[in-house]
Amino acid sequence: MTEKAKKWSDETVNKLMSLIGGQRPVSAATVESAAHALGDDFTPRSVASKLRQLEVEVASMAKEKTSAFTEDEGAELAEFVVNNTGEYTYKQIAEHFMNGKFTPKQIQGKLLALELTGSVKPAEKVEVARTYTDAEEVSLLAWQSVVHLSKILLVLLTRLFLVFVVKLLALRARAKLPRFLHRKQVMLKRALIL
């Protein structure tokens, strides 16, 4: 039995259905409270998914999600960003605005909604630690050329071999080859088919 099947036993499904009652569509708040009541193994997302599988109408979780910002907080954030245009990154704004109450992603989302992303200082690009030195990279590129050349040679040799095999088969068909090559001919035909 899979972990998913164990999680959604008949007993659990019956409990879920009793928790939501006759509410249709099931609101986001009801989904969240049902997930909490079912225990730590259940997220609101999994509960909503299960209800949809059971063909129960569930309200969009995204549409009912409320903003992390109140109107006043949104206005204060807009004022803070406009007064400090180009001075702070999203991370720095999150640290300075309202004593770090909001995450950088929440700040970024709100500023996107307020169309104030141009007022934010771009974050410095983090240089990724290099795995290879410049010399090693040049060496890898050289090996790539060798591998490519070897592939070309393999194709050419395969074509040359096939031409040779076809010629052998043609000679055999005209009975110019001894009979002992018959087994080899069968093997070559099989090789051509592969």
Domain ranges, ordered by start, for the chain: 3-64, 71-119, 134-193
Cα distance from N-terminal residue to C-terminal residue, the chain: 42
Given a contact cutoff of 8 angstroms between Cβ atoms, the answer to whether 31 and 48 are in contact is yes
Q: Helix or strand or coil: residue 68?
A: coil
Residue 26 DSSP label: B
pLDDT tens sequence across 129-168: 777 788 888 887 777 777 777 887 787 788 888 888 787 7
CA pair distance 65, 78, nearest whole angstrom: 21
Enter the pTM of the model.
0.38
DSSP alpha helix (H) spans, 84-133: 90-96, 104-113
Q: Which residues pair with 97 in a beta bridge?
A: none
Given a contact cutoff of 8 angstroms between Cβ atoms, the answer to whether 91 and 126 are in contact is no
Q: What is the mean pLDDT of the chain?
A: 79
Which has the higher per-residue pLDDT, 59 or 182?
59
